[in-house]
């Protein structure tokens, strides 16, 4: 079913506010990863606000859909999303990365309601997703497991071990989404370690490959709808994105992978995102 115009507008509004919240949160604590969070804003918006079967009041329900931020450094976008969905008060965002806080530098399932697995060390999430998906099948729960992968992260070999396993076990309730922003910490993927055609690589291992514009909520939503119709094989959605999307001086810049947002940058970013300077 295609998204109606009202829904599309609602998701766009959520995404816009999320960008503001992310930049504010990171500016406030002067630490954290802006680039890879801003590239995944629309992906998480569509997942949590239009696709996933989750409920903060029943956060451990066995039949809930699962989300794995395998690129755990996108914690800011996950945290703003979870706060938005009512898993914890938005006031917690102010304590990001501070001693004794709930919101650790990288997602921590033991501390944060709504986090299905702790991540941070790259290349582990897809394996976990395979395990969750196998459990869902054993228990006939029918839930979907969504795994958000970084394109740079795919340089970790364990991803491809998990890719093989998902195909072997014919898991059609795992949907991987690659945040294909083309930039990693030290530079572009092309410079650091070219990944070639990522879709072809997945296809060669027996996955169904879909593509989406990772900043178009309608495009992402349609791809996920299509992924859910696939039977007998796992699906990956290659979502073309821009690292640092929405803030001109961050866009496409590896230097903004994990850089603190200082006051002068914050003012410009807020002007561009339409937020206030508080």
Which positions touch other proteins (CB under 8 A)?
62, 66, 109-110, 116-121, 124, 126-136, 138-139, 145, 158, 161-162, 164-165, 168-169
Burial level of 94, CB count in 10 A (0-12/13-18/19+)?
middle
Contact 79/103 with Cβ under 8 angstroms?
A: yes
Nearer to other proteins, 21 or 156 (CB): 156
Nearer to other proteins, 95 or 158 (CB): 158
Nearer to other proteins, 150 or 244 (CB): 150
Rounded to whole angstroms, how far apart are CA atoms 83 and 113? Answer: 10
CB of 121 to other proteins, least distance (A): 4
CB of 70 to other proteins, least distance (A): 10
Nearer to other proteins, 123 or 246 (CB): 123
CB of 118 to other proteins, least distance (A): 5
CB-based contacts of 86, cutoff 8 Å, min separation 6? 56, 57
Phi, psi of 178, rounded to the nearest 5 degrees: -95, 120
CB of 138 to other proteins, least distance (A): 7
What's the half-sphere exposure (Cβ side, CA atoms, 13 Å) at 3?
Answer: 23
């Amino acid at each position: 079913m295609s998204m109606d115009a009202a829904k599309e507008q609602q998701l766009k509004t959520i995404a816009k506010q999320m960008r503001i919240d992310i930049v504010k949160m990171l500016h406030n604590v002067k630490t954290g990863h802006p680039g890879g969070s801003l590239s995944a804003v629309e992906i998480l918006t569509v997942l949590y606000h239009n696709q996933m079967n989750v409920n903060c009041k029943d956060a451990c329900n066995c039949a809930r859909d699962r989300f794995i931020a395998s690129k755990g450094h996108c914690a800011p976008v996950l945290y703003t999303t979870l706060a938005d969905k009512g898993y914890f008060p938005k006031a917690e965002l102010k304590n990001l990365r501070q001693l004794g806080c709930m919101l650790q530098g990288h997602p921590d399932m033991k501390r944060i309601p709504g986090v299905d697995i702790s991540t941070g060390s790259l290349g582990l999430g897809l394996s976990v997703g395979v395990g969750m998906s196998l459990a869902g099948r054993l228990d006939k729960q029918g839930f979907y497991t969504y795994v958000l992968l970084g394109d740079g992260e795919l340089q970790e070999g364990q991803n491809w071990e998990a890719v093989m396993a998902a195909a072997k076990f014919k898991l059609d309730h795992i949907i991987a989404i690659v945040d294909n922003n083309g930039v990693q910490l030290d530079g572009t993927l092309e410079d650091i370690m070219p990944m070639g055609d990522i879709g072809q690589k997945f296809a060669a291992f027996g996955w169904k490959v879909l593509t989406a514009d990772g900043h178009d909520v309608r495009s992402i939503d349609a791809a996920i709808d299509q992924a859910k119709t696939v039977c007998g094989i796992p699906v990956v959605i290659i979502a073309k994105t821009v690292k640092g999307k929405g803030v001109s001086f961050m866009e496409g810049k590896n230097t903004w992978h994990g850089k603190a947002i200082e006051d002068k940058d914050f003012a410009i970013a807020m002007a561009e995102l339409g937020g206030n300077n508080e």
